[in-house]
Amino acid sequence: MRRSLVIAPHPDDELLGAGGTLLRRKEEGVEIGWLIVTGISEELGWNSERVQARSEEIKLVEKELGFDRVFNLRYPTTRLDQISMSELIGEFSKVFKEFEPNEIFLPHRGDVHSDHRVVFEVGSACAKWFRYPSIQRVLAYETLSETEFGLNHESRFLPNYFINIESYLEKKIELLSVYKSEMGQFPFPRSIENVRALATFRGGSAGFAAAEAFELLMERS
């Protein structure tokens, strides 16, 4: 793999779902890209201090994780289902053409948040090798507070691809602490304790001390 692209409906999804893997990819010499689909703004009712804080959080994560490219579409958060699919596909396609990813990380189709489900559908529509020949692997990640709360059993998360993040878990947790407003105290789903517990549980399924789990949706070589 030469380039990996994580598609995050919201800032923090990239770390929750694939933070350890992205750190590993970076160490392996892979170029990593970050597509942020939605954002907050004063027009949506957020105060200026919160909007500025989120901008600074994104910049810090970009720097500390070492993203080579960041694409920010700035669609209104929680309102992606109000945007036409054709418009979203067009915007995603621009990123795919420019970055030419070999590996793509998508949110899971069964996530309870509508933004996540829309991003999965749009990302899937763009992940056609005959449109973008660079694509070799497509993975769906799990997002604490979204994936495990999906109630449709027909679309539940069924991991079949595990990546060892033993050497990267502590850095992942450190980076998640940047998103102060998104993380909470246990037993809140997005807590440090829960992140660590999930990594341990997924690791135990694959023979590692810590792992991130994915659904392998497509791979060609």
Domains of the chain: 3-219 (3.40.50.10320)
Separation between Cα atoms, residue 141 and residue 198, nearest integer Å? 13
Separation between Cα atoms, residue 55 and residue 32, nearest integer Å? 20
CB 216 within 8 A of CB 139: yes
Separation between Cα atoms, residue 199 and residue 176, nearest integer Å? 14
| Per-residue confidence (pLDDT) for residue 45, from 0 to 100 | 81
Is residue 219 very low, low, confident or very high in pLDDT (cuts 50, 70, 90)?
Answer: very high
Is residue 179 very low, low, confident or very high in pLDDT (cuts 50, 70, 90)?
Answer: very high
The DSSP bridge partners found for residue 216 are: 139
Model confidence pLDDT, tens digit, residues 100-123: 999 999 999 999 999 999 999 999
| Per-residue confidence (pLDDT) for residue 27, from 0 to 100 | 98
Model confidence pLDDT, tens digit, residues 43-88: 888 899 999 999 999 999 999 999 999 999 999 999 999 999 999 9
Sole residue written with tokens 């933070």: 19
Residue 29 gets the label, from left (phi > 0), alpha (psi -120 to 50) or beta, of left
Q: Does residue 101 have a cis bond before it (omega within 30 degrees)?
A: no
Say whether 89 sits in a helix, a strand or coil. Answer: helix
CB 162 within 8 A of CB 211: yes
Sole residue written with tokens 């749009």: 122
Sign of CA dihedral 218, 34, 1, 28: negative
Pair type for strands 31-39 and 103-107: unpaired
| Per-residue confidence (pLDDT) for residue 69, from 0 to 100 | 98
CB 23 within 8 A of CB 171: yes
The DSSP bridge partners found for residue 145 are: none
Enumerate residues 6+ apart whose C-beta is below 8 A from 208: 162, 164, 165, 166
Q: Name which of 80, 68, 63 is nearest 35 in CA terms.
A: 68
Is residue 201 very low, low, confident or very high in pLDDT (cuts 50, 70, 90)?
Answer: very high
Pair type for strands 31-39 and 69-76: parallel
Is residue 1 very low, low, confident or very high in pLDDT (cuts 50, 70, 90)?
Answer: confident
